[in-house]
Amino acid sequence: MRRFWRSWIVVLGFLLLIAAPASAQRFGAETFTLANGLQVVVIPNHRAPAVTQMVWYKTGAADDPRGKSGIAHFLEHLMFKGTRANPQGAFSALIAQNGGRDNAFTTEDYTAFHETVARDRLDLVMRLEADRMTGLVLDDAAVLPERDVILEERRMRIDNDPSALLREQLTAALFLNASYHNPTIGWEHEMHGLGTADALAFYRDWYAPNNAVLIVAGDVETAEVGTLAERHFGPLAARPVPPRIRLDEPPHHASIRLEMKSARVAQPSWRRYYLAPSYRAGATQHAYALQVLAEILAGSDGSRLNQALVLDKGLALTVGAGYAPSALGLADFGVYATPKPGVAIADLEAAVDAELHRILEHGVEPDEVARAARRMQASAIYSQDSLSGPANIIGTALVLGRNLDDVAAWPDKIGAVTPDEVQAAARAVLVERNSATGILLPERTS
Amino acid sequence: MNRFLLPINRRPGEGRDPLFNRLGRGLVGPGLRRDDEEGAGSLRWRAVPSQAKAMILLAALLLFVVSLPPVAAAMQIQPVTGASGVEAWLVEDHSVPVVTIRFAFPGGAALDPAGKSGTASMVASMLDEGAGPYDHAEFHRRLDDLAGQLRFSAAQDEFDGSLRSLTRNLPGNADLLRVALAEPRFAPDAVERIRGEILAGLARQAKNPRSLSGRLWMYDAFEAHPYGSGVEGTEASVAAITRDDLAAFAAERFHRRGLTIGIVGDIGKAEAAALLDRVFGGLPLGSDDSQIAEAKPLDDGALVVSRAAVPQSVVTFGQTGPKRDDPAWYAAYVLNDILGGGGFRGRLMKEIREKRGLAYGVTTQLVPYRHAGLIVGSVATENGRVGESIALVRNEWQRMREEGPTAAELEDAKTYLTGSFPLGLDSTQHIAGVLVQMQQDKLGIDYLDRRAGLIGSVTLDEARAVAKKMFDPAALSFAVVGDPADVKPTRPPKQQKF
């Protein structure tokens, strides 16, 4: 079904799901650590004769050295360029020839590589991942064309899309000093200067068995994974890794407003982000209540913002709210709306503020908290309905310094959130001076 | 902010098995995703490295690749028939307390009344706006409390729906699905609200280079044929749709004849049969009177440009391809992977991305409509160099026509396409989608057991013969949106505004 406001919520919901783990008992996950510090997690799933392997590195764009924004993501691309044992393209070629799929992704806090193969090919993909954990070989011939690729990727994701450009500016404005100030893909002018030496330096700093988590999900048993992991990753030596520094924010004394006009914008939109705690930074006691707050605001058709702005007052076409606490440093809490044609942004914003103030002043109802929690707990069950869902949830938790118990406890923690805690979290976070508001407007051209 | 909304993947869209690329996708244009208007969708793009030297290595490695496990060995498909006569295919899996039901009614957006394109799509957006005894608020209150995931969408040739439910909530959710199909209210205030959403979406797509490129290409290819219009219609056609049009669509199209259903998950055969009766048993038998004309894309080899002030030009390209029942389908399917497959496999990806860094991704896919077949692709390159990408696409099209694939490429593609497919059958939704598609395409209930053989039996001679016939550089047409510096249009687009 096609519903624009919903696509926003669905995306946020999905990310929340990734950020917000379901019961580890239900996943049946087991973990152990090799002598070199590599943590291994096995998630048995016997639905199909397949396995997904993921190697998560505890480093991301927030670790990019100053002036080298984008290097973590660039290195992720370059990890496919080859090693002595598996030169130039052999990695993905081998996997495809064995009927498998592989890919990778980078966020601000972590970088992950993953393969899905028939269960009897686990040995192969483990050998390949272990090989490139320490054996990467790069030269300019491989690196420079790939730099053009990430520049095209930036144009595609950011520069061609006014909404993404505004989001990038807002992020930089909201995080005055925190490590998430720069975009994951990098600023274009700095991307042009990234080179082989930069990539290798980042690789040597961060890619080591003691800075990684290996996850194997699928039709396997723990003992078998243990044997293979020992064989392939066991021989790699632990190395000192720099501390992951996530800078804090100074007090904000002024709220931020950014307005952007573009001829590529069809209709206005409004969004606001507040600095927020994560599971790991800031007032972390609010992390669960804030997830419930986001669900109450915009997680369902009858949610407060949708009910008030879309259904009752007819001011908005779409609304959304999002909060993902899975970050090493501070997170943000976002609210979003697009006005119906003819509705002034100021009126839309006033209506959103009225709903937020209603919560700040009067709190939320026990019934809406309970219903929100039940929906979120259902999502924890749905997350088991795939091979990659549990692997993503567990991987995200572990690379952020959380553990399987945290993952297991998520449904209960959500269920334990009280109306008072939701109000307290809203009061702690929905603070005007800690916000950045972005307004995107069409620019009429001849 | 974007650190959560946009995990950056290395490589462009592996997409889905093109054999099943139609279900629930409701293509706006060829190969374009419809679910990322806010720029928040995480694109699963991919690509992979490759150099000439690697090919020698690959050839050597090929000798050691042994046969892969049998397709979907763990999956048993059972036919189920309710007392009402409604049929479905079922895969039981009790490992997670979840049930998914997916279905497709024959006849989709291509049957929209003249001047009212977008009707089917608007119906899809309206079905959960209140039905039977439940007004909008009550319908959603129930659905939310039951944590049901109910989706409807219109494609050109069918109307798709799906429900995913926790096992314990299935009766309540099934009741909502039943009334949504049998007794939608189409309340006037909801009709106007949804119309507003759709119009806003169309306005947004008109400014989105990717959407626009796809729509330009499709209109140029099919013009007045229904396939030339997006399933969501145009500003004028959506404005013309009345409540009666929506009600008429639901009354005429939601019937049992031609309905295909897949059920997957924590449910037994007897319960599944009862579910079929409960949800679909009350629908009229109906008649399948689909009268869509056969269509052929224009294939005039044109290059059209729509100017837009963006740094990167987005290009859609393509020509006639096979329909799903074409005897050459499997050869074409393998050839498509060799030319435009994701990962290192595609020649286009090697030439355009890996060797020259001209794009983040370039892939092609077969788009088998019921009454027309296409092979289409897309690529996005900075304005100053997009002409190079276009020239490379043309070169590879020509090379594939003249030389066909190499023996190694053919074997690699066959291994990949047979081996990777069952790995994706890991969720109830994906499996249910496959079940529906198999029935729509009349592939037979044992198709998954035969699939590897059908692909594996494509010979080099056959692949070369099909390549020579299928890939035609004179037919290959391009639609460019951006401000390309080194590209000359051969004619104006047949329609500028959408």
pLDDT tens-digit series, residues B43-98? 222 222 222 223 333 333 333 333 344 444 558 999 999 999 999 999 999 999 99
Q: What DSSP string describes B260-279?
A: EEEEEES--HHHHHHHHHHH
Nearest to A76 by CA among B11, B345, B349: B11
pLDDT reading at B225 higher than 80: yes
Contact B380, B311 (CB under 8 A): no
For residue A336, the chain B residue with the least C-alpha distance is B38
How many beta-carbon contacts under 8 Å exist across A and B?
334
User: What pLDDT does residue B63 have?
Assistant: 32
Measure B283 CA to nearest chain A CA, in Å: 21
pLDDT tens-digit series, residues A283-302? 999 999 999 999 999 999 99
Tell me, yes or no, if B84 comes closer than 8 A to chain A by beta carbon: no
Measure A35 CA to nearest chain B CA, in Å: 31
Residues of B in contact with A183 (CB under 8 A): 2
User: What pLDDT does residue B51 have?
Assistant: 28
d(Cα A130, Cα A147) in Å, to the nearest integer? 25
Q: Cβ B415–A92 below 8 Å, yes or no? A: no
Q: Cβ B96–A184 below 8 Å, yes or no? A: no
Share of chain B above pLDDT 70, in %: 85
Amino acid at position A256, single letter: I
User: What pLDDT does residue B424 have?
Assistant: 86
pLDDT tens-digit series, residues A230-279? 999 999 999 999 999 999 999 999 999 999 999 999 999 999 999 999 99
Residues of B in contact with A90 (CB under 8 A): 54, 57-58, 61
Radius of gyration over every alpha carbon of chain B, rounded to an integer in angstroms:
23
Tell me, yes or no, if B57 comes closer than 8 A to chain A by beta carbon: yes
For A312, the token pair is 């009752």
User: What pLDDT does residue B291 have?
Assistant: 80
Residues with Cβ within 8 Å of B445's Cβ and at least 6 positions away in sequence, in order, are B77, B79, B89, B438
Q: What DSSP string describes B10-36?
A: SS------GGGTTTTT--SSTT--SS-
Q: What DSSP string describes A378-437?
A: HHHHHTTSSSHHHHHHHHHHHHTT--HHHHHHHHHHHHT--HHHHHHHHHHH--GGGEEE
- Across B431-442, average pLDDT: 97
Residues of A in contact with B344 (CB under 8 A): 89, 92-93, 96
pLDDT tens-digit series, residues B446-472? 999 999 999 999 999 999 999 999 999
Residues with Cβ within 8 Å of B472's Cβ and at least 6 positions away in sequence, in order, are B299, B319, B320, B397, B401
pLDDT reading at B13 higher than 70: no
User: What pLDDT does residue B307 have?
Assistant: 96
Residues of A in contact with B58 (CB under 8 A): 90, 93, 97
Residues of B in contact with A298 (CB under 8 A): none
**Nearest CB to B416; choose among A99, A142, A322:** A99
**Nearest CB to A47; choose among B9, B93, B359:** B93
Residues with pLDDT less than 50, chain A: 1-24, 446
For residue A335, the chain B residue with the least C-alpha distance is B1
Q: Cβ A159–B4 below 8 Å, yes or no? A: no
Which domains does chain B carry? 78-280 (3.30.830.10)
In the annotation, is A76 catalytic? yes
Measure B473 CA to nearest chain A CA, in Å: 26
d(Cα A327, Cα B4) in Å, to the nearest integer? 9
Q: Strand pairing partners for A112?
A: A56, A105
Pairwise pLDDT comparison (B18 vs B481), residue with the higher score: B481
d(Cα B281, Cα A36) in Å, to the nearest integer? 61
The residue annotated as part of the active site, out of A30, A76, A146, A153, is A76
**Nearest CB to B69; choose among A19, A118, A387:** A118
Q: Cβ A47–B354 below 8 Å, yes or no? A: no
Measure A387 CA to nearest chain B CA, in Å: 6
Contact B290, B111 (CB under 8 A): yes
| Mutation for testing the A interface, residue in B5, B6, B9, B10 having most A CBs under 10 Å | B10
Residues of A in contact with B125 (CB under 8 A): 1-3
For B83, the token pair is 């007392």
Place of tokens 């997957």: B264
User: What pLDDT does residue A88 have?
Assistant: 83
Which domains does chain A carry? 37-232 (3.30.830.10), 256-442 (3.30.830.10)
Measure B324 CA to nearest chain A CA, in Å: 23
Residues with Cβ within 8 Å of B194's Cβ and at least 6 positions away in sequence, in order, are A3, B122, B125, B126, B129
**In 10 A of CB A432, how many CB atoms?**
13
Contact A145, A195 (CB under 8 A): no
**Nearest CB to B40; choose among A11, A91, A174:** A11
Pairwise pLDDT comparison (A367 vs B7), residue with the higher score: A367
Residues 416-445 of B with CB under 8 A from A: 416, 418-420, 422-423, 425-430
Tell me, yes or no, if B380 comes closer than 8 A to chain A by beta carbon: yes
For residue B67, the chain A residue with the least C-alpha distance is A98
Nearest to B369 by CA among B334, B336, B326, B421: B326
Measure B415 CA to nearest chain A CA, in Å: 6
Calculate the average pLDDT of chain B: 86
d(Cα A189, Cα B28) in Å, to the nearest integer? 35
Q: Cβ B125–A1 below 8 Å, yes or no? A: yes
d(Cα B123, Cα B405) in Å, to the nearest integer? 45
Tell me, yes or no, if B308 comes closer than 8 A to chain A by beta carbon: yes
For residue A384, the chain B residue with the least C-alpha distance is B96
**Nearest CB to B311; choose among A81, A147, A155:** A155
Residues of B in contact with A189 (CB under 8 A): none
| Mutation for testing the B interface, residue in A1, A163, A318 having most B CBs under 10 Å | A1
| Mutation for testing the B interface, residue in A25, A97, A310 having most B CBs under 10 Å | A97
Q: Integer distance in angstroms from the first to the last C-alpha of chain B?
A: 31
* Axis crossing angle, helix B136-145 with helix B170-182, rounded to the nearest 10: 150
d(Cα A194, Cα A280) in Å, to the nearest integer? 31
pLDDT reading at B6 higher than 70: no
Tell me, yes or no, if B382 comes closer than 8 A to chain A by beta carbon: yes
Order of all β-strands in the sheet with A39-44: A30-33, A39-44, A212-218, A50-57, A111-118, A101-106, B8-9
H helix or E strand, kind and range, residue A145: helix A140-154
Q: What DSSP string describes A37-64?
A: S-EEEEEE--SSSEEEEEEEES--GGGP
Q: Cβ B125–A385 below 8 Å, yes or no? A: no
Q: Cβ B95–A87 below 8 Å, yes or no? A: no
Q: Please, what's the b/e burial string for B26-56 (b: 16 or more CB within 10 A of its CB; e: otherwise)?
A: bbbbbbbbbebbbbbbbbbbbbbbbbeebbe
pTM: 0.89
Q: Cβ A317–B196 below 8 Å, yes or no? A: yes
**Nearest CB to B360; choose among A117, A156, A168:** A156
Helix H segments across B323-446? 329-340, 347-348, 386-403, 407-420, 428-440
Measure B484 CA to nearest chain A CA, in Å: 14
| Mutation for testing the A interface, residue in B207, B213, B423 having most A CBs under 10 Å | B423
Calculate the average pLDDT of chain A: 93
Q: Strand pairing partners for A331?
A: A276
Q: Cβ A118–B61 below 8 Å, yes or no? A: no
